[in-house]
Every structure is written in structure tokens, then in C-alpha cells.
Structure 1
Amino acid sequence: MLNVYLSGEIHTDWREQITEGASDLPISFDGPVTDHGASDDCGVAILGAEENPFWHDHKGAKVNAIRTRMGIEQADVVVVRFGEKYKQWNAAFDAGYAAALGKSLIVLHAPEHRHALKEVDGAALAVAETPEQVVQILRYVLTGKLPA
């Protein structure tokens, strides 16, 4: 069983495209909480309210980091998606953490982000532009078969 952690933007269905495309492969997928409200508020919901927005975000980031670190550490492959809508600083951090741990890293982003992400791309073993390319990489890794 290949363990794949799907990190990055939460505004499109790229995770579903990958998990559906690889549904016939022996892969276990994991990732962050993609409910934006739950992710933002987990710290205060569990540990208590904060009036100061900094501490509100700080608590949430710390609680989410427990899940993220565990997922990346347990992964064989980490896929990090950079989307169009926002600059995903957390995605860049996850890519750096995965690279520092020596994880096999696949970066997924549109061609227009090549220059901005050149250092992240440089740490990756593959840079894909579509979720289908990620599925094809995973299929090749597990079966040695090229796309038809």
C-alpha cells in the first residue's frame, strides 16, 4: 500500500480527481482538513476562545500542524497543489517539510506559476500541471505502466 498525502489548495476538486483516477490502485490517501471553517477554528473550538485574532489563528495553526506533520511523516509520496485563487504559504511550507524529510515530492500547479515556484519545483521529483498527470505518475510508480 502506497501512502500519499495530498496537501495544498482547498478551492477546487483536484483531490477528488486524483483519488477517483487512482481508485484501482493500492493507495491510501490522506490530507489536511479541507473544511476551511473547521480548519480555522479548530484551536479555539477545542482549546478555548481567543479575542485576539493572532492567538485565534495561532491555536488553529498549531492543532492543524499536528495532523499535517503526522500525515507528511507517514507518507511515501507527498503531492502539493498550488492553486490560482490564493498564495498558499502553508502549501509551500508543507513542500519544504516533505523535502527536508526526504519524501518523494510531486508539485502540482499551472504553468504560469513556474517562476514563482522554481525553488519548490527544484526540490520536487516531478512537477505536474494536471491531477491526471499525478495519477499517471502514481500508476507508473506502482505498476511500471505508461499511459495508453
Structure 2
Amino acid sequence: MELTVYLAGEIHSSWRDEVKSLVKEKNLPLTFVSPQTEHDLSDDIGEKVLGEQPSKYYRDDAASSINNLRTQVLMNKADIVIALFGEEYKQWNTAMDATTAINLGKPLILVRPEKLIHPLKEISQKANVVTASVEQAMEVIEYIYQ
């Protein structure tokens, strides 16, 4: 049985590569989807598709509508969502994706460091599983196959 996993979370580190490496080591039948991880493309897609916008507000609005459509399609196809909250970057998109997963009834594994326990207490309570590391999240998924 192959599962599709949506990897929600910040795009500026290599955590997704770490997940894929662990999956390869464990030989798990998983396919991955995620938000657009090419930052410039994510910011530019609205004008790339719809043409130049009159201001930064409309530029962001155009890009957001296309990025949100992409996220909705891919998350709807996912069997599981892993939402990683890192320590370095603001996590608005991760919070939005985790909440979307909860609202869609998607199984959600939340990965968050100890220092974010308090700020993420409500989302953590709604997640199916909360882990402190990507390794623990992968152990949870591995358990599905045991």
C-alpha cells in the first residue's frame, strides 16, 4: 500500500530531504507532495500566469490564489500530512496548512520543538500525533506498515 504524504512546513531548510532519506533507508512506499518550495516561483506565479499586477498587494493576492489552489489539490490527494514547525522562520504557512489538514480530516503529524509547545498548544491538541523530530514522525508512519 503506497501512501501520499503532504510535507507542510518552512521551505528554507533541507528537512524534506531528511524525510526522504529516512524513507529510503526504511524502504517505505511513500510518495511526497508539498507546498511550492521554490520561493521565487511561489512569489512570482501570480504575475507569471495573470500578468503584471498594479501593486505589491495585488501581486501577493494573485500569487496566493494560485498557491492556495495548488495546496488544496495536493492536500486533498494526501493520505497523511506532516507539518513541521521549525525554530528559525515564521510559521504562518505551516499553521495554515496544519489547520487545513485538520479541517479536511486528514491524519496530521505535527513536528515541533520543545520551545514551541506553548504557542502551538491548540494545533498540537488537534493533531493526531505530535513529535519532537522528523525521525519520530517517520517512526509513526513506519508503524502503519508493521
Q: Give the TM-score taking structure 1 as reference length.
A: 0.92
Matched, 1:63 2:66: yes
Moved over 4 A (4+): none
Give the Cα–Cα distance (whole angstroms) in 2 for the partners of residues 136 and 71 of structure 1.
Answer: 23
Cα distance in 1 for residues equivalent to 2:74 and 2:117? 26
1:4-83 map, 5 Å: 4-23=5-24, 24-83=27-86
Residue correspondences, number: 143
Question: Secondary structure at 1:100's aligned position in 2?
Answer: helix
Please give the per-residue CA displacement for 1:107-135, whole angstroms capped at 9, x wherever unaligned.
11111001000111011111111111111
Deviation at 1:140, TM superposition (A): 0.8
1:146 paired residue number? none
Per-residue CA deviation, residues 38-97 of structure 1 (Å, 9 max, x unaligned), is: 111111111111131111111111101111001111111001111222222111111111
Structure 1 distance, partners of 2:17, 2:134, is: 9
What's the counterpart of residue 125 of structure 1?
Answer: 128
User: 1:49 is paired with a residue of what secondary structure?
Assistant: coil
The partner residue of 1:93 within 92, 96, 108 is 96
Cα RMSD after superposing both structures: 1.0
Unaligned runs of 5+ in 1: 144-148
Aligned counterpart, 2:141: 138
Counting aligned pairs with the same residue, the percent is 38
Scaled by the length of structure 2, the TM-score of the pair is: 0.94
SS in structure 2 at match of 1:7: strand
Task: Work out which of the residue numbers 97, 113, 116 in structure 2 matches 1:113.
Answer: 116
Aligned mate of 1:103, from 97, 106, 110: 106
